Chains A and B, each alone.
Chain A
Amino acid sequence: MTVLSRLRAALEDFGQLVLFGGETLAWAARPPWRWELLVAQMAAIGVGSTLIVAVTGLFSGMVLALQGNYALGQFGAQGYTGGFVAVSLTRELAPVFTALMITGRSGSAISTELGTMRVTEQIDAMETMAVSPVQYLAVPRVAASLVMFPVLTVVFGAVGYLGAYLIGIQVSQIPPAPFIDHTRSMVEVRDLMHGLSKSLVFGAVVSLICCYRGYAAHGGARGVGEGTTRAVVMSSIAILVFDYLMTFISIGG
């Protein structure tokens, strides 16, 4: 394939993804609303990912405490470690790492499940039964992601800060009072909003990409595997690109 035709195929694919997003939005606004499916997806995406998100959060927080103490200690400013960790977690690490972890765990599962349903004609079958597969399959997964990405981001941040506190106080011997005081003075509501709005955007983007890649799968088991690989790669890149864009919009160049 020439570079030009590959570019064209990629653009077409992107266009299809955008259309799929529009279709999902349109179907989300129409009854019937299947609350039981939403709850099931929230459990699958959210509850299932809680442990891995918490573990990742714990270690990120602990590492940040060590690094913060090391870097800030060079200026005799160890006391600021708490604030440094809290701002990093809230604005950046919690939303990004959480989204990456959910992509690996639940995004791949979404893509594989929908892909298998596509190649075994289960999606066609649903369509012939007067049920929109986009409404039945994609809408609950996207809606559940919009709820669970921010919730898990909060879990990541809270566990991360806890880990940082333990390491900072117990290992790095930072006095607790400045650790907490600087956290209070450095973290503002807009930092929280910034982090949570990122996680909302990541939730929408990741779930749409993963649903679409499954939905568009073709060519048997191999096609399903390829779809899942592309879903995870595209989602991970999209998370980093949107992270940059939103950070740029928030604080400028």
Chain B
Amino acid sequence: MAAIEVRGLWKAFGDNQVLKGIDLDVAAGTTLVVLGASGSGKTVLLKHVIGLLKPDRGTVRVEGLEISRLEGRELTEARRAFGMVFQGSALFDSMTVFENVAFPLREKRRGIDRDELRARVVEKLRVVDLGEEILDLWPAQLSGGMKKRVSLARALVAEPTVVLYDEPTTGLDPITTDYVDAMIDQAKERLGVTSMVISHDIASAFKVADRLAVLYDGRIAAQGTPGEVRASADPYVRKFLALWFGKQ
């Protein structure tokens, strides 16, 4: 059974039909990258997977649970399986780095021992190559790349089984982009998580993906292994990929 299963997903905002029947599967422990231009509905798709949005039609199942039907407390409980890295990092700016990374764990296990909490936070920061010296810094004192890494540590600290990445490399320099790609791979290899990455960064998509899906005009224009997608005959996919591969 696939860890994430999307079936016939439709969503409109007013007159704007954003998703038009999406079908997707992500096998457990693998990384799916959904590629698409701005405005193709990528983020809307991702927000359905974690239940921030409700579909007009269709279903979303994550590890057997029908997320698209859950409400209130059940949905909150179901989200314990997730970690999410936001495009703008979305670190809590009224909390220090330590408090940010500790937050999901502290909420998941209320009354957790302070020493254990600290040990777990430091351990996850080490996974993203950050040291204890930044624990007491505020998000405003970090660079964009560091924020991204802290937000990855925060997404991983409560040991989720599914990690979602919303445009993880947007706005980063090439070196940090490379670094974030490596982090996504590491989270998969070392922690065995299932990952879904939303991106318009073609180079980085081909680097981290086990499978790729290209989203165009609310539909999946192509999906498969990176090799299969590259060989796709779909005119939009060819045009989109040529933007990158044409340059190579």
Contacts and interface: CB of A to CB of B under 8 A. Distances in A.
A165 B45 CA distance: 66
Nearest to A116: B93
B77 interface: yes
A173 interface: no
Interface of B: 47, 50, 52, 73, 76-77, 79-80, 82-84, 86-88, 90-94, 103-104, 107-108, 110, 158, 164
Of A126, A127, A129, which is in contact with the most chain B CB atoms at under 10 Å from its CB? A129
Interface in A112-135: 113, 116-117, 120-122, 124-132
Contacts of B90: 120-122, 124-125
Contact of B50 (A117, A122, A128): A128
A128 B110 contact: no
A120 B84 contact: no
Of B50, B82, B90, B92, which is in contact with the most chain A CB atoms at under 10 Å from its CB? B90
A122 B107 contact: no
A252 interface: no
B79 A130 contact: yes
Contacts of A30: 73
A129 B103 contact: yes
A129 B110 contact: no
Given A124-B47, A129-B103, 11 more contacts: A30-B73, A120-B88, A120-B90, A120-B93, A122-B91, A127-B79, A128-B164, A130-B76, A130-B80, A130-B107, A131-B76
B108 A130 contact: yes
Give the 4 A-B CB pairs with smallest separation, nearest first. A125-B90, A121-B90, A130-B79, A128-B84
A126 B50 CA distance: 12
Interface of A: 30, 32, 113, 116-117, 120-122, 124-132
A129 B107 contact: yes
Contacts of B88: 120-121
Nearest to A31: B110
A24 to B, nearest CB: 13
Contacts of B107: 129-131
Nearest to B81: A130
A137 to B, nearest CB: 11
Given A121-B88, A122-B93, A132-B76, A127 B104 contact: no
B63 to A, nearest CB: 14
29 contacts: A32-B110, A113-B94, A117-B92, A121-B86, A122-B90, A122-B92, A124-B52, A124-B86, A125-B84, A125-B86, A125-B90, A125-B92, A126-B92, A128-B50, A128-B79, A128-B82, A128-B83, A128-B84, A128-B164, A129-B79, A129-B103, A130-B76, A130-B79, A130-B80, A130-B82, A130-B104, A130-B108, A131-B76, A132-B76
Contacts of B94: 113
Contacts of A132: 76
